[in-house]
Structure 1
Amino acid sequence: MEGGSQRHGSLFDGWNSPPNIVTYVRIVLVVAFLALYVASGRFGSEDLSLRWAATVLFVVAASTDKLDGWMARKYDQVTELGKLLDPIADKLLILAALIVASCFNEIAWWVTALFLIRELGITLMRFLVIDSGGSVIAASKAGKYKTLFECFAIALLLAPIPALVGLETGPAHIYSLFTAAIVYIALILCLYSGGEYLYHTLLKR
């Protein structure tokens, strides 16, 4: 929820809490995912099994987003550091995947650029809010839906279905069109939630 900005303790209070440790693990998983994705090649052309492994690891890493949030709420271990690192972990995973996908020509660079501008801009704003003495504003509902659609879109993009059925076949084109539609929905939610965050942040200044 986009709540009021009350002052809290140090940013590093509760840095070693179990939910934050899960977040640290998610960040480490990004590195492993990237290694598999890059090694698999475009549409898994270098190694299809590595592409499947990258897809599975992405889904696992993305799914743990719910785990640390659930743990933090259940055991009353919500921290300022957790609220900051949780979306950063999401952004590292998602933006890294998009950049590699664009390098492989699996997604247009302009799409990745818009995601990058929004995500990096909001992350910078979060740091500015902290630097000015405010508390981190938690993700809104639109932001959470954005993350859900981003993860779904990238999972579809990563799954080497077109390579399995043949890149130039009808089913592959239908799959690619469906994936593109989910990507554009995620992009719309990304830009909307970014504007919403900007509005709420400036409103409270």
Structure 2
Amino acid sequence: MSNETTVNDTATVTDGAAEGQGKSSGSLFDGWNAPPNLVTYSRIVLVVIFLSLYITAGPWGEGNIPMRWTAAVLFILAASTDKLDGWMARKYHQVTELGKLMDPIADKLLTCGALIVAAAFGELGPVWLGWVVVALFLVREVGITVMRFFVMERPGGKVIAAAWPGKLKTLFQCIGLSMLMLPMWVLNPAQTAPMWMTVYYTLTYTLIYVALILCLYSGGVYLVNTFGKRDK
């Protein structure tokens, strides 16, 4: 098995999992109540709460600043717990096929949900550009998720794993969106656009667009690793 197919994008075996880890057999639902999986389920609940607060606070949080700060903290917390369940699964040998499937789905719900609301609020730049960015992210993310199910249904099918571009995509995307969620503009009530704010938001959008490039590239890697013929 090649290195490109032994590291899960954001799954329970991610973040430095060695080659060969994450192998399991039996039903998809074996180990559904394992502690790492419970952490994943908790993150899904956090996603629902985060999105509710984000939407209610309004564009840039102008409708309710404390609520926007709370939403930002929940986003960062939900994104960070991906590291926790991966560490638990490796340390206590509780890697499961369900965990490898649900963990990236939880991440996609978090990041794609945030992107959709940000585009609707015009926080990704011009509205048309925001929706183009969201569409490109969704095509890749939904396509890969559907492909995971397709491969799992085949005889001997396993949850698809990804290469390093997918991990980098998630890292840049989560950092960029975390910065976008934080209503830093309130620290400049005079709206004088100081240099630090220009640098801050330039870096924020750069991270998100770099994540988009890595998203599309890693999607191609998935396709090649899954359907392409590779020389060993």
Q: Please indicate the TM-score interval, normalised by the length of the shorter structure.
A: over 0.9
Say whether the 8 Å CA contact 1:146–1:190 is kept in structure 2: yes
Distance 1:168 1:42 in 2: 19
RMSD: 2.0
Matched, 1:24 2:47: no
Distance 1:25 1:159 in 2: 22
**Amino acid of the residue matched to residue 174 of structure 2?**
C
Structure 1, unaligned stretches of length 5 or more? none
2:112: which partner in 1? 95
2:62: which partner in 1? 45
Q: Can you list the C-alpha shifts for 1:136-170, whole angstroms capped at 9, x where unaligned? A: 12232211111111100100111111243255614
**Amino acid of the residue matched to residue 177 of structure 1?**
T
Distance 1:159 1:51 in 2: 7
Determine which of 174, 183, 207 is the counterpart of 1:182.
207
Structure 2, unaligned stretches of length 5 or more? 7-19, 125-129
**Amino acid of the residue matched to residue 149 of structure 1?**
F
- Greater shift in the superposed pair: 84-93 or 127-136: 127-136
2:16: which partner in 1? none
2:103: which partner in 1? 86
Q: Can you list the C-alpha shifts for 1:112-144, whole angstroms capped at 9, x where unaligned? A: 111111100000000101111300122322111
> Percent identity at matched positions?
58
Determine which of 154, 161, 176 is the counterpart of 1:138.
161
2:170: which partner in 1? 147
SS in 1 for 2:94: coil
Q: Would you tell me which structure has more helix in proportion to its own residues?
A: 1
**Amino acid of the residue matched to residue 177 of structure 2?**
I
1:157: which partner in 2? 180
**Amino acid of the residue matched to residue 169 of structure 1?**
A
Say whether the 8 Å CA contact 2:24–2:96 is kept in structure 1: no
Distance 2:54 2:218 in 1: 28
1:10: which partner in 2? 27
2:90: which partner in 1? 73
SS in 2 for 1:66: helix
TM-score norm. by structure 2 comes to 0.83
Say whether the 8 Å CA contact 2:140–2:216 is kept in structure 1: yes
Q: Can you list the C-alpha shifts for 1:156-194, whole angstroms capped at 9, x where unaligned? A: 111111243255614433322221111111111111111
Say whether the 8 Å CA contact 2:166–2:218 is kept in structure 1: yes
Distance 2:204 2:77 in 1: 20
Determine which of 193, 207, 212 is the counterpart of 1:169.
193
TM-score norm. by structure 1 comes to 0.94
